[in-house]
Chains A and B, each alone.
Chain A
Amino acid sequence: MAGSRRAKAWRSAANPIIAIVLLMFVWEGAVRLFKIPGYLLPPPSEVLAQIGDHARILANHAGATLTVIVSGFFLSALIGIPLALAISFWPFFNRTIYPIIVFSQLIPKVAIAPLFVIWFGFGFLPKLLIAFLISFFPIVIQSIVGFTSIRPEPIRVALSMGAGPVTLFFKVRLPHALPNIFAGLKMAMASASIGAIVGEFIASQQGLGYLILVANGEMNTPLAFAGMLLLCFTGVALYFLVETAERLATGWHVSRRVGAAT
């Protein structure tokens, strides 16, 4: 029984991979057939060749981007979740910090980034800050929903057992909020990736975003594509890691049951 379930899991994981491979063939075929110039749309064969030729450089830049994304993500989680806690349970924070956070999201990060360059110069810090600023908002909003959507009865049950506020939080409020928190974390991971690239466009001389920018500037489209391809894989891999953590932590939730969409 379990064997066939695992076999099905492999098959369903294979589906998107097969689709991508087929897409690559179509892409290759179309470029050759319509004689599309390389600087407009390079065929996959050339992109892969680029990756092969410049493997070490690409790896270095990919590593730099990976560091920014992961750091930005963890920073948002470490700050976002306690912030959501404060906003959910202390009216003072709800009235003061919460509006400021919302206000901060209305300012496009692309506009702020040059300001960060002036304040912090080029390098890791401004990139980290941009990734953080974009990605912590979904975590805060989702976590607030998770913390404030619990019904009174589960709380009362624990109170009548003698649970204090700490026990109540770790045994009742937090588990209840986890599905929402993970939804926020997934969005944050995607946003951290975008934030890292934006940061690299503006405030860095390292990373895949920087590489794509330079490659575009030199009309080296295959290299730009190579950078973008690596970026996609990195983003998907990281997102998949968060999804796996979600499955392990919230496998019991109604959204993950047999027959549900995901």
Chain B
Amino acid sequence: MALAGGNALVPEKVREPEIKIEAISKVYPANDGDIVALRNVSIDVGHGEFLSVLGPSGCGKSTLMLLVSGLEHASSGRIEINGQIVDRPFTDVGIVFQDHALYDWRTVLDNIMLQAEVRKLSRHEIREKAHKLLARTGLAQFENKYPHELSGGMKQRAAICRALVHEPPFLFFDEPFGALDALTREQIRIDLEKLWLERRPTVLFITHSISEAVALSDRIIVMTPRPGRIDHIIDVDLPRPRDKAVMASEAFSDYCESIIERFMEQGVIQY
């Protein structure tokens, strides 16, 4: 069981994996030779775990997220969430994409309320939760504004609120901070950890940023360049919340360095 609150404690290792990715491969047919996005990837994600998939562009990590969410079909292998095979869009989840994917024709609040409309939830309850989430992410003044009136960071915050408002047990992120400037990225990452610690949903987090992965995750899957395979799995044994002291600690930079070395071995980084 996940721990309530998160006072500098590492979640216990879990017995039954909630997400089982077994021997997944994804091939995109093309005229001049098929593109193998993923080859034989197997991962188990535990209950309440924050798992990052880290790799260079084209390593198939975004594809992996689409497969786990049921938004695309794998070429071979199988994916199970809570014992159920994923063969159609998985709905017990909140998803955040790199481009916020907010709807231009709806206000910020209405974008979040879409969860209530489509999932047939209590509008009153969801509206209350939406107000709270927007206030917590500094968007209270922007509830009735349209997405084009917000900055990039604000739009992504709104997208995160949309993914959280119905309190799903799973969260999937596809490079959510990739389009943001470095300072905004720092802040929004800190905010995300705080929000995550409240309920500890199971998180699949796709990123290409080493420090981001180490700062947020319990475990990191390091991928190879295309065709994407698992290169290495790293357990991040750092206290939570990952505050400034943790970020500045030697343990933190050791983790980052070991990952850089993996990428240097792969040839992804060359000095």
Contact = CB atoms under 8 A, between A and B. Distances in A.
A167 B116 CA distance: 13
Nearest to A254: B148
A171 interface: yes
Nearest to B89: A159
Nearest to A153: B101
B148 A157 contact: no
Given A153-B99, A156-B97, A163-B118, A252 B71 contact: no
A162 B95 contact: no
B175 to A, nearest CB: 12
Interface string A155-194: 0111111110001000110011010000000000000000
Given A176-B105, A254-B148, A171 B97 contact: no
A121 interface: no
Interface string A242-253: 000000001011
A52 interface: no
A59 B119 CA distance: 54
B90 A160 contact: yes
Contacts of A160: 69-71, 89-91, 93, 95
Given A153-B99, A156-B71, A162 B105 contact: no
B101 A156 contact: yes
Interface string B129-151: 00000000000000000101000
Interface in B81-105: 89-91, 93, 95, 97, 99, 101, 103-105
B118 A167 contact: yes
A160 to B, nearest CB: 5
Nearest to B66: A156
B52 interface: no
Interface residues of B, number: 23
B101 A162 contact: no
Q: Is the interface of A mostly helix, strand, loop or mixed?
A: helix
A257 B148 contact: yes
Contact of B97 (A153, A167, A175, A178): A153
B114 interface: yes
B257 interface: no
A156 B95 contact: yes
B125 interface: no
A172 B105 CA distance: 9
Given A162-B89, A163-B118, A172 B103 contact: yes
Contacts of A161: 91, 114-115, 118-119
A123 interface: no
B186 interface: no
A146 to B, nearest CB: 12
A147 to B, nearest CB: 15
Contacts of B66: 156
B117 interface: yes
Contacts of B95: 156-157, 160
A57 B210 CA distance: 80
Contacts of A82: none
Contact of B105 (A151, A153, A163, A175): A175
Interface in A135-149: none
A161 B168 CA distance: 11
B101 A157 contact: yes
B114 A171 contact: yes
Contact of A171 (B90, B104, B118): B118
Contacts of A153: 97, 99, 101
B164 to A, nearest CB: 13
Contacts of A167: 118
Nearest to B95: A160
Interface of A: 151, 153-154, 156-163, 167, 171-172, 175-176, 178, 250, 252-254, 257
4 A-B pairs closest in CB distance: A153-B101, A162-B91, A161-B118, A159-B89
Given A153-B99, A159-B89, 17 more contacts: A153-B101, A156-B71, A156-B95, A157-B101, A160-B89, A161-B91, A161-B114, A161-B115, A161-B119, A162-B89, A162-B91, A171-B117, A176-B103, A250-B105, A254-B104, A254-B148, A257-B148
